[in-house]
Amino acid sequence: MAEQSRRLFLALWPEPALAERLHQLAGEAHRECGGRIMRRETLHLTLAFIGAVGEERLPELLTTLGRLRAPRFRMQLDVLGHWAHNHILWLGCTDAPPALPQLAADIRRELAAIGLPVSGPEFVPHMTLLRKAHVPRELPVFEPADWAVAEWVLVESRMTPHGADYQPLATWALD
């Protein structure tokens, strides 16, 4: 019998009011860039993508991640960027607070310690707003958003006919 696995990642999830504001920004950018707008309920900032994890590894993963401690922090989402190679328009921060890359590094270290190394590029704090975007020379102007980050989340990604569906599995408060 095949082993059951879940496709997992760790992220920061904006509170509903901020998610709504960011979704509106995505709609404004969509008018200039086209593409596909990310659904409001899927907007997040990925800290680490784990990938397929066997069901039997979940208790160990939850225990390991539950031991991590990190401070609360604020960040200003103040820059739009575009990755031409995959046509993604993203929102990020000019100056990431030190606690953000530290949290991502701590998570990667703990995952590697239990044999779940995170593959992929170096951590770049961003939120995908549009996919398949065709960005003009100048990106849209927008009002920066302040984000008081108070928690981080383990999320399962399930593919559906309408795209990815994200199901939070665990949440940890920042100190």
Distance CA 117, CA 86 (A): 24
Residue reference for tokens 């994200």: 166
Q: Cα dist. 152→1, 43, 136, 140 in Å?
A: 34, 13, 34, 29
Catalytic residue at 126? yes
pLDDT of 104 reads: 97
Candidates 44, 85, 87, 162; catalytic one: 44
Candidates 23, 30, 82, 126; catalytic one: 126
pTM of the complete model: 0.93
pLDDT in tens, 117-162: 787 778 999 999 999 999 877 888 899 999 999 999 999 999 888 7
pLDDT of 2 reads: 55
DSSP state of 94: S
Average pLDDT, the chain: 94
pLDDT of 162 reads: 79
Domains and CATH numbers, the chain: 5-173 (3.90.1140.10)
Q: Which SS3 state, helix, strand or coil, does residue 142 take?
A: coil
Q: Cα dist. 13→43, 71, 145, 164 in Å?
A: 7, 16, 14, 16
